[in-house]
Amino acid sequence: MKSKIHSIILARGGSKGIKNKNLVNINNKPLIFWTIFQCLNSKKIDEVWVSSDNDKILSISKKIGAKIIKRPQKFSNDKATSESAWFHAINNIKSIDTKKDIVVAPQVTSPLRKDNDFDKAINEFKNKKLDSLFSGFFFETFFSWKNKNQKFIPKYNLKKRPQRQKIYKNIIENGSFYIFKIDGFLKYKNRLFGKIGCHIMKKENSFQIDEKEDLKLFKFLSNKNEFFK
């Protein structure tokens, strides 16, 4: 029997930057709608699950078409890790084969994905025989500084400033989603392990909604994205 792919979306009720962040209205839909919808429309994802401690989030998620998991408070407070919540979800999904199956773990606050990002990343994951994968984007970070005791210190040689075209591009995790084999996740208790890959996204598709001011910028960016129209 071939492996199944389960999307596990974590969406707790509490949030500091924006109250009820996962339910905030984005283009006449609750924020969580967009990630659930993207997962449901994937040709590769077999089951879509939402794990939450919040009954309203669970009710709305079920209406959209996701299966739901009620998450205990101990896996939903500010100190709880995503790993602990994924671990709880995996142990509560009866249809999971922990030795064969794969998890796609998207972040609700990063909905500016292309409609084929999940499927392309899953293909990469399988074709390259990866154990885990993160989404990210290229970013030039050579001209960076650190602030030490109110003193700004460059992390590069000011006298040998390189030409921009010669600067190596770093890859930044954007947190949009992760993919991992369940057996390895349970063994290492971490989202990234073994042979790790990266699905590269554009910088503008890596935007995250964390603070109130992010909502205005997101609405501007979403107007340029056909998916949100």
Kindly indicate the confidence band of residue 215, based on its pLDDT and cuts at 50, 70 and 90: confident
Residue 229 has pLDDT above 70, yes or no: no
The residue-averaged pLDDT of 22-47 equals 93
**Could you tell me the residue range of the domain that residue 67 belongs to?**
5-136+174-228
Domain for residue 166, yes or no? no
Domain for residue 167, yes or no? no
Cβ density class 152-170: b for 16+ within 10 Å, e for less: eeeeeeeeeeeeeeeeeee
CATH number, domain with residue 216:
3.90.550.10
Counting residues of the chain whose pLDDT is more than 70, the rounded percentage is 93
Domain for residue 45, yes or no? yes
Domain for residue 46, yes or no? yes
Q: What is the pLDDT of the chain when averaged over all its residues?
A: 90
Domain for residue 150, yes or no? no
Tell me what pLDDT residue 228 has. Answer: 63
**Separation CA 46–CA 195 (nearest Å):** 23
pLDDT tens for residues 85-121? 999 999 999 999 999 999 999 999 999 999 899 999 9
CA of 194: how far to CAs of 135, 160, 183, 190, in Å?
16, 38, 11, 10
Question: For 27, phi and psi rounded to 5 degrees?
Answer: 50, 50
CA of 191: how far to CAs of 23, 34, 36, 43, 82, in Å?
26, 23, 20, 23, 9
The structural domain count of the chain equals: 1
The residue-averaged pLDDT of 135-142 equals 86
Domain for residue 145, yes or no? no
Domain for residue 212, yes or no? yes
Domain for residue 153, yes or no? no
pTM, entire model = 0.89
Counting residues of the chain whose pLDDT is more than 90, the rounded percentage is 62
pLDDT tens for residues 14-28? 776 677 889 988 888
Q: Which residue has the higher pLDDT, 150 or 129?
A: 129
